[in-house]
Chain A
Amino acid sequence: MNEQSILAIVERHRHRDGPLIEVLHEVQEQFGCIPAGAVAAIARGLNLSRAEVHGVVSFYHHFRTRPAGRHLLQVCRAESCQAAGGRAIEAHAKQRLGIDFGQTTADGRFTLEAVYCLGLCACSPAAMLDHEVHGRVTRESLDALVDAAAKAG
């Protein structure tokens, strides 16, 4: 990350109304997270205080301050998935990857996150791996997904 590239992103959005969240989305897309150094640059570029920018970054679950692993596995914890055996899938995902929600494996390969509804409630339990959606997840299908992702790198 360098300040120049952050300011370039800010420049692309500053003409829009209420641009901060749009800027943060693009920064995260480009750098995998909102790096600590980016906050000051964004604040300067948008004429906001650093506290305001930090406040927004820390408010939203989607924004991360450290990059995720190479693969991001999101398992739904909401009611519909719980009703269809989602608790067992949550436990299996944690056990399989050896990490808890919000953590990344030591080899940097997987990050596991809880999500609260993917809108796939007619095919619960649901999960999303690297932006690909999966429904009626079983322990076996989850293993197959993780294996395939691990093989990919």
Chain B
Amino acid sequence: MNVTVWVPGDAGALALGAQATAQALVAGARAAGTEVRLRRNGSRGLYWLEPLIEVETPAGRVAYGPVRASDVPALLASGLLDGRAHPLRLGDIEQHPWLATQQRLTFARVGRIDPLDLAAFRAAGGYRGLARALELGPEATVNEVLESGLRGRGGAAFPTGIKWQTVLRQPPGRKYITCNADEGDSGTYSDRMLMEGDPFTLIEGMTIAGVAVGATRGYIYLRVEYPHAFRVLNAAIAKAREAGGLLGADVMGSGLAFDLEVRLGAGAYICGEETSMLESLEGRRGEVRVRPPLPAEKGLFGAPTIVNNVITLATVPTILANGATAYKDYGQARSRGTLPLQLAGNIRRGGLVERAFGLTVRELLEDYGGGSMSGRPIRAVQIGGPLGAYLPVSQFDTPLEYEALSAIGALLGHGGVVAFDDTVDMLEMARYAMEFCAIESCGKCTPCRIGSVRGAEALAAVGRGEDRDRQLALVEELCDTMLNASLCGLGGMTPFPVQSAMKHFAEDFRGRTRGG
């Protein structure tokens, strides 16, 4: 007998023991006379159920989770390989409300296919977007992206089509497509999941960008903390080249060339800032550049360059394949399409929620997150990484879209939402924000380099109860200087978590006892 079982190879699933589960499964089944054909997929994104395994049965894929290696003998005994009943049986995972209520466009294939199975990728709609882009030609492809309303998913939310148009209008010559995969914001992991779970989508998106603006070379700037994604991307790129005509001198028989390579970062948060990333790609210290010129005019090695985030580029294929209107129909106001939100921190059901813009913070935390992991009330969330504002409960009805968050002095960033329960010390979180900025500052501008160090010192002094009012006034002044005089977002946005903590959780800065 021969049974196919899917066990995610996603780093998050591996961190929860997926490899041991896979081994126990193969060995246990073999002992009972059954060969398990192990297949690896990305994660479905329901991390509280990882390791989530799926057994192929005549009735379809039957999921079980969370399955630890120690659960395997009992599962096998109760008929796991026939998809039989067990307390860990979840049935068809796509019918699970947590997944069935999502609108997965960018993540349509993640968790469903073997990430390196090019035939499965194509069978599931892959490379339809590129084929259409080649039919449309450069101008119309760029217009399609413009029309879709897609905005940069890395955090800055700049309209992607405008960036592409700028590069398209530069005189022909050397141009580059660069993908920012330096996903350093705490609470975010959608780039990682996509690169590990459906790398061909990113490759297709970058190729579309290349043929649209006349660039022949692409770079994926990947953080060194993602060794799994590094392996998957390199294997996928090799396959796309071997498959003949997906990368290389003649993309899909169009006569157009496009190829790409992965470059590893070296542990610097600042290299997620686009100009710093370009410096790093050129092999230098990741110090930010003064703009103008914009990278779209003078970017990598001085040539016109598109810098887009992983999710932005990976969303382009669905836009081209199904048309700008289909994509634009999702979302609200000036936030069109879907956003892969990432639930993190102290949360019961953490994972990836791709929905049209507009879900409220509360809906995300309660309907999907199921409240805190600790069971205590959620007191604060930080949205958009270490430079994002802290929101108190009174702001939890804010919809998760660009303008609504901006209106309350917050930002959506890369869509990470980190929940904190009521044991959190917001003074300490504010001090940490300054400390993080000090650790990661590239050092080029003074407000960031010095302001962050002084800010952390002042907030530490507040914590010790020393000269509280004067120190808090100093922090306000430092924030003002950093906000208005820093060269880039690191110094310029570190005040967001600090000031929001001071404003909404003032009691923590006035000697509130922890947990009291």
Contacts and interface: CB of A to CB of B under 8 A. Distances in A.
Interface of A: 17-22, 24-25, 52, 55-56, 59-63, 78-84, 115-124, 126, 128, 131-136
Contacts of B440: 116
Nearest to B350: A122
B285 A55 contact: yes
Contact of A117 (B225, B284, B287, B424): B225
A59 B301 contact: no
Contact of A119 (B48, B189, B421, B432): B189
A129 B243 CA distance: 36
B382 interface: yes
A80 B187 contact: yes
Interface stretch (B317-325, B341-349, B485-493): B341-349
Interface residues of B, number: 62
13 contacts: A18-B282, A18-B283, A21-B266, A78-B386, A79-B429, A83-B424, A116-B184, A117-B183, A117-B184, A117-B186, A121-B186, A121-B418, A122-B350
Given A59-B285, A135-B12, A24 B266 contact: yes
B263 interface: yes
Given A61-B268, A123-B12, A131-B227, A84 B346 contact: yes
A135 to B, nearest CB: 4
A61 B182 CA distance: 14
Contact of A83 (B268, B386, B420): B420
Given A60-B268, A119-B226, A131-B227, A80 B15 contact: no
A65 to B, nearest CB: 13
Contacts of A60: 265-268, 286
B35 to A, nearest CB: 27
B345 to A, nearest CB: 3
Given A81-B186, A116-B184, A124 B301 contact: no
A80 B283 contact: no
Given A60-B266, A123-B16, A79 B187 contact: yes
A123 B15 contact: yes
A16 to B, nearest CB: 9
Contacts, number: 154
Contacts of B183: 117, 119
B460 interface: no
Interface string B39-54: 0000000011010000
Nearest to A58: B285
Interface of B: 11-12, 14-16, 47-48, 50, 183-189, 191-192, 224-228, 263-269, 280-287, 301, 342-347, 350-352, 373, 382, 386, 416, 418-421, 424, 429, 432, 436, 439-440, 442
Contacts of B347: 122
Contacts of A135: 12, 15-16
A63 to B, nearest CB: 6
Contacts of B264: 21-22, 25
Contacts of B284: 18, 20, 52, 56
Contact of A116 (B192, B282, B343, B436): B436
A121 B416 contact: yes
A80 B285 CA distance: 28
Given A120-B189, A123-B15, 4 more contacts: A61-B267, A63-B266, A120-B12, A122-B347
B285 A84 contact: no
Contacts of A24: 266
A124 B347 CA distance: 9
A133 B15 contact: yes
Given A20-B283, A79-B386, A123 B50 contact: yes
Given A21-B266, A59-B286, A116 B186 contact: yes
Contacts of B287: 59
B432 A133 contact: no
Given A62-B267, A79-B382, A84-B345, A119 B188 contact: yes
